[in-house]
């Protein structure tokens, strides 16, 4: 909203008003605002949750210090959601399709998570919202997000064209000095293309999955694309939910992922950087940097109260929304195939549960006695069972997250 106000002031030649035209400035303001909201209003929200006796119910799993968390306020994800939505509304261009897509995703999964927490806390049902309803909600968001990304005319990507020898085709352009320069030829295409790591000319088109069935079938590529969107959103949101088990683990890891995605969005929205790195240029996606700035600030600000010992838990209100935001954002900037790298912590946490359950069922049916791969799943609880303090576990997971973030950024040139 403030963007339009300062744009009007700039037209009136008010000194300094033009600074709102810069993405970097608006992103910085979004980060600062999200931090202020988290720190200032976060305390008030925590006090209000305590007043409502919105406390966490903890089962005794034999983990050190676990029962001490009994009664800690949950639903702290409301702090994160507020610190994301308000700065985005203030500093982003609200006529941008990508911004509305991210706001819809935030509210959508935040509402599902809030419903789950509400049932657990106020209805005294430890199971919360039935898993099938969560999945239905995730599928619904996948359909909406996939349809917007595929059918909306404002969502486009541009990529360099190559000849049969893999050489970039150039075109002659006259600069402002009258000099002739050769620039890569950028061609606008649909959204079924994405970035694939470690491959030269690193683009993959989901249409290729249907090419063997003929050109007529390839017209229905939107179906397979939406299926992929649904899978990505479901997997990442559940992965973030699994990671939310120790004080500061999900929040800190998400902040690292958010910074990585902000870098990707900035590079993809800038023609010069996209040309240099030989990646797809995504027009109008620069506004996503502002959204992710608010996201990162919200996660970091939340750590003020969520770091060990936690004064509040984010609950499913925060964890489901965080995972969905990361997934939709990665899909919007065509980096979803990099998710296993920069979201490696989420992936391993998710896989540890899947492997644990699958191996237990297999050994029980074969030997009559269920056996386990890990002492306890998700993986962070395995290390707790081994006697490692949760602060050390969280710190080491953050370090791994930083390493994975650096590797994912390196993939832009490592191919």
How would you class 378 by CB atoms within 10 Å of its CB: exposed for 0-12, middle for 13-18, buried for 19 or more? buried
* pLDDT of amino acid 8: 81
Neighbour-count burial for 159-183, b at 16+ CB within 10 Å, e otherwise: bbeeeeeeeeeeeeeeeeeeeeeee
pLDDT of residue 219: 73
Classify residue 108 as exposed, middle or buried by CB count within 10 Å of its CB (0-12, 13-18, 19+).
buried
CB-based burial, 1-18: b 16+ in 10 Å, e otherwise: eebeebeeebeeeeeebe
H or E element: which one contains 203?
strand 203-205
| CA 133 – CA 107 distance, rounded (Å) | 16
Distance CA 45, CA 76 (A): 8
In three state form, how does the secondary structure of 214-246 look? CHHHHCCHHHHHHHHHHHHHHHHHHHHHHHCCC
CA distance 359 to 24: 49
Tell me what pLDDT residue 178 has.
64
Q: What pLDDT is recorded for position 60? A: 53
Q: What is the pTM of this model?
A: 0.92
β-bridge partners, 91: none
Looking at residue 153, its pLDDT comes to 84
Q: Which pLDDT does position 68 carry in this prediction? A: 63
3-class SS shares of the chain: helix, strand, coil, % to 5: 65, 5, 30
Q: What is the pLDDT of residue 62?
A: 61
- Going residue by residue through the chain, which has 415 residues, state the pLDDT in tens, using 9 for 90 and above: 888 887 888 888 888 888 888 999 999 999 999 999 999 999 999 988 888 876 666 665 666 666 567 778 888 999 999 999 999 999 999 999 999 999 999 999 999 999 999 998 888 777 888 889 999 999 999 999 999 999 888 888 887 777 777 677 777 666 566 676 667 777 776 678 888 888 777 788 888 877 767 666 667 788 899 999 999 999 999 999 999 989 999 999 999 999 999 999 999 999 889 888 888 889 889 999 999 999 999 999 999 999 988 899 999 999 999 999 999 999 999 999 999 999 999 999 999 999 999 999 999 998 888 899 999 989 999 999 998 999 999 999 999 999 999 999 998 887 6
pLDDT of residue 210: 78
pLDDT at position 58, please? 60
């Amino acid at each position: 909203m403030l963007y339009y106000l300062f744009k009007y002031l700039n037209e009136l030649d008010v000194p300094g008003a033009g600074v709102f035209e810069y993405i970097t400035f608006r992103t910085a303001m979004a980060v600062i605002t999200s931090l202020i909201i988290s720190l200032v209003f976060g305390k008030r929200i925590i006090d209000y949750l305590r007043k409502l006796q919105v406390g966490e119910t903890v089962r005794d799993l034999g983990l050190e210090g676990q029962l001490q968390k009994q009664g800690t306020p949950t639903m702290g994800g409301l702090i994160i959601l507020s610190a994301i939505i308000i700065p985005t509304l203030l500093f982003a261009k609200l006529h941008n399709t990508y911004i509305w897509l991210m706001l819809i995703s935030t509210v959508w999964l935040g509402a599902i998570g809030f419903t789950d927490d509400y049932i657990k806390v106020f209805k005294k049902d430890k199971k919360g919202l039935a898993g099938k309803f969560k999945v239905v909600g995730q599928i619904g968001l996948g359909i909406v997000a996939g349809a917007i990304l595929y059918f909306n005319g404002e969502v486009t990507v541009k990529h360099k064209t190559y000849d049969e020898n893999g050489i970039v085709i150039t075109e002659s352009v006259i600069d402002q000095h009258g000099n002739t320069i050769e620039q890569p030829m950028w061609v606008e295409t649909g959204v079924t293309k994405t970035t694939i790591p470690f491959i030269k000319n690193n683009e993959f088109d989901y249409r290729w999955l249907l090419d063997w069935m003929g050109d007529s079938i390839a017209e229905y590529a939107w179906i397979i694309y939406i299926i992929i969107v649904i899978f990505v959103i479901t997997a990442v949101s559940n992965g973030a939910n699994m990671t939310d088990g120790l004080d500061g683990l999900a929040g800190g890891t998400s902040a690292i992922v958010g910074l990585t995605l902000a870098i990707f969005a900035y590079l993809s929205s800038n023609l010069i950087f996209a040309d240099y790195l030989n990646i797809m240029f995504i027009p109008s996606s620069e506004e996503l940097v502002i959204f992710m700035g608010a996201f990162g600030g919200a996660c970091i600000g939340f750590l003020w109260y969520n770091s060990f010992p936690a004064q509040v838990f984010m609950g499913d209100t925060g964890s489901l929304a965080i995972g969905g935001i990361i997934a939709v954002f990665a899909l919007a900037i065509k980096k979803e195939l990099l998710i296993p790298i920069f979201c490696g912590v989420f992936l391993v946490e998710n896989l540890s549960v899947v492997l644990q359950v699958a191996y237990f069922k297999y050994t029980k049916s074969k030997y009559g006695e269920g056996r386990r791969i890990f002492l306890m799943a998700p993986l962070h609880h395995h290390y707790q069972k081994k006697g490692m303090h949760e602060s050390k576990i969280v710190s080491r997971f953050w370090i791994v997250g930083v390493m994975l973030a650096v590797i994912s950024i390196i993939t832009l040139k490592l191919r």
